[in-house]
Structures are given as structure tokens and as C-alpha cells.
Amino acid sequence: MLNGAEHRETRMRRVLHVSPYIHPAAGGPPVVVERWAEFAGAHGWHARVLSTPAMSPDGGGSLFANAEGRYELSLLSSPFDALWGAGRANLNCLVQQADIVHLHTMWSTLNAIAASVCRRLDKPYVISPHGMLDPYSLGIKSLKKRVYLKMVESCTIRGAAGVLFTADEERDLAVSQIGHVPHPGVVGLGADMPKASDEMLQVRFQSTHPELADKKLIVFLGRLHPKKRPDVVIRAMRGVRAKIPDVALLVVGDGQRDYVDGLKQLSESLGLRECVYFLGLLTGEEKWAVLASSRVFALPSLQENFAIAVAEALQLRVPVLITDKINIWREIVEADAGMLLREAFLEDDLANHAVALLSDPHNCSDMGRKARALAFRAYTWPASAQKLSVYYDAILEMHRAARLERIG
């Protein structure tokens, strides 16, 4: 693993983040790109983001509004614009201006083109796979991905100055799937923090949902998708409710309509209609209010690269129940900030762990305290951005040394 010493320069260095999408609907990667770009200035970096208006219903107008005052944003109308004309000229100019280029996600035409430009201009670039080299992710449309990996992505990876992962687990899984990666680094991500206090958020939640004021709350927060297995949490509620009658499950998130309707039908068929609440997609203080009012966070996902929602729960002192398919599970279990759900006993473990925490407020509070301590220690965006800066500096130093060796 590459561990560079922090390198300071008087000149503001430039990083170009390239991502095929930046709209929040795309999930975790846009959040990471935005936060790293936003906090770059504190460590001597000027950040620019190059992306497309993918998933943006207004053609990208809201993306520019969101970036204003936080980081510079350039948009191509599509990834293929980077192949010719003004789009190619813009890409060449941005790469030339940057000290380092940071590619986000895999299987992207835009990234493949940007990587080829970097190699032609002798500009170092690093790749963040964002969990897309995990066995689970590679198993989806596996034939298509294996062909693309051999024909295109392998060249992009080989030409990279480094590959950056968000956890040791992600790095190890990727290496087990594709073999050697150049100069791997690990920089953990962060979680946003609410501006209001826990107490104020709890008051807000109770005023919005007075019917839940006296309930012991379990929260599932995330995209409603089979990969995240919200159905497991719903089924586990039968066992929890049998021992904790005043429990309620808050399902926070959205997904495809048919799948969401199926989850609602499942809760009704199990006789859980009165204790399972579908709150939809919540953001900002509404989301924080739910987390601050919950006693247990459950995410029995099949795969999560980092799971920012888990880190957010830790920030709010909520113990987490997770599987070992979430790549930061070791850190959480070692810190006693949550409990592990065994794959063969998912529903039973989830129900038993939830009952244990809800019936023992002292233990639940103690685990919540350790959760926040872990989050403050390891999962904040300023700390993540500082570690990223160290990694960039090490890459640049290595690149300079290699160039001098070629010249000499």
C-alpha cells in the first residue's frame, strides 16, 4: 500500500475529478466526489469536477446551482462528447491544467476516454472503483463486465498511477477478483453532520410524527432495492414485536414503484401494518431527525462499498446492525459500535440483536456512544480530505521521480 508523506507547496495544486454522473439520484459516488471537491481547498487543492447531466431532469441546471460556491463544475452533454469537437478540446484543456486526475467508478466511457488523454499527456491519474470491483458487483452482468474489463478497463487500470479504495476490505476483495492493482491506497469516507443538536432533532421528529413519540424506533435508511434487503428487516419485525410490543420500523428511502409496493404488501401480509412506516426519501433535517430519534439502525445489505448512511447513523449515536458485506464491518464490530448479522441467520440475528438493544437502554446508549466516537475518529469529511491530499502528494512525488528517471 502506498503511504506518502504530506508534501506542501506554495502553489495551489489542481485536481480534476471525473465522474460519469454527479446527480444525487446516482447514490454514493456523487456524494463522495462533491465532498472531496468541497474540502480540497483546506489542503491546498483547487478542485474541478467533470461530469454529465445524467439523471438530471433539468439538463444539469440544478447541478450547477448545487456546485456554486463549493467547487467548479464542467458538464459534457454525454460521455461521447469527449471524443471529438469542443468536448474533446475541453477535456484536453482540463487534463492539461490539472496536476492529477481522479476517475470515479468503473465501466464508464467518459473515464476510459479521460484515462487515454491522461496517458497521452503524461498526466498521473488515480481510480476510485467505489465498490464496483467487489465480487457482488462484478457478478451483475458478469459476462459483459468481464469482456469490457479485458478490452478496455484493464488498460485503464494498468495505466493508473494508483487505485484508491475506501476500506481494507474493498481493496482485498478487488485484488482477489482482478489481481494486482497499481499502488493501492485506502482513504475512508466521511459522513455529513446535522447543524441542530440531537435534542432539537428529536423534538422536530416528535412534532412531525406525534403518533411515534412513545415508540422504540428501528430505522432502515437507504435506497429500496433488493441488494439492500429491506424485506429482511420487515420480516424480522415479527420477532421483535413479539417481545417489544411498542416497537416501530421506519423505512426511509425510495425505489422502483413495483418493489416499494411489494414491500408494503409484505408488511400487511405479516400483520405489521401498524408498526411499519414508509416515510419515503428524506433529506436534510428530516433525515437527521429520523436518525436522532431512532435507537437501532438496520442494513442487511448484500454489498456496500462504504455505506455513508451507516456512517451517518454512527454520527447520531445509533448502533448499527449490518452484514459482513458492508466493507467497514470490521472497524464497526471492533469498536463495539454495532453488531454483525450472520448470512445464514439474518432474520433471527436481526430480531435478537434489536430486542437485546431495545430492552437494555444502558447497553444501547453505551454502544451509541462508541458509535459516535468511531465516527468522529474515522468517518469525517475533513479527515477524509486530508488523507486524500496525502495520497495525492505521494502519487505526484512518485510520478515526478519516474519522469526524472526516464529523462536521466
230-252 pLDDT, tens digit per residue, is: 999 999 999 999 999 999 999 99
My answer on whether 39 and 145 are in the same domain is: yes
What's the whole-model pTM score?
0.87
360 falls within a domain: yes
256 falls within a domain: yes
Q: Give 10's pLDDT tier (boundaries 50, 70, 90).
A: low
Q: Using a CB cutoff of 8 Å and minimum separation of 24, what contacts does 52-61 make?
A: 52/20, 52/21, 52/22, 52/76, 52/77, 52/78, 52/79, 52/110, 53/23, 53/77, 54/20, 54/21, 54/23, 54/26, 55/21, 55/23, 55/25, 55/26, 56/23
Q: Give 130's pLDDT tier (boundaries 50, 70, 90).
A: very high
Among residues 39, 56, 46, 45, the alpha carbon closest in space to that of 8 is found at: 45
1 falls within a domain: no
My answer on whether 267 and 165 are in the same domain is: no
- Provide the b/e sequence for 34-47 (b: ≥16 CB within 10 Å): bbbbbbbeebbbbb
Q: Which domain holds residue 141?
A: 13-190+382-407
317-372 pLDDT, tens digit per residue, is: 999 999 999 999 999 999 999 999 999 999 999 999 999 999 999 999 999 999 99
My answer on whether 215 and 174 are in the same domain is: no
Which residues lie below 8 Å from residue 134, measured CB to CB, with a gap of 6+? 170, 173, 174, 177, 303, 305, 327
Average pLDDT over residues 3-8: 46
* CATH number, domain containing residue 301: 3.40.50.2000
211-228 pLDDT, tens digit per residue, is: 999 999 999 999 899 999
My answer on whether 216 and 142 are in the same domain is: no
My answer on whether 230 and 340 are in the same domain is: yes
Q: Are 402 and 190 in contact (CB under 8 A)?
A: no
5 falls within a domain: no
Among residues 113, 95, 109, 102, the alpha carbon closest in space to that of 164 is found at: 102
Choose from 1-5, 190-194, 357-361 the range with maximum mean pLDDT: 357-361
My answer on whether 184 and 327 are in the same domain is: no
7 falls within a domain: no
Q: What is the DSSP letter of 166?
A: S
Dihedral sign for Cα atoms in the order 287, 290, 294, 298 = negative
91 falls within a domain: yes
H/E element holding 320? Answer: strand 320-323
Dihedral sign for Cα atoms in the order 283, 288, 293, 298 = positive
My answer on whether 284 and 359 are in the same domain is: yes
My answer on whether 158 and 120 are in the same domain is: yes
6 falls within a domain: no
My answer on whether 160 and 206 are in the same domain is: no
What is the spatial distance between Cα 148 and Cα 115, in angstroms, rounded to a whole number? 15
What is the spatial distance between Cα 305 and Cα 325, in angstroms, rounded to a whole number? 8
Into how many domains does the chain fold?
2
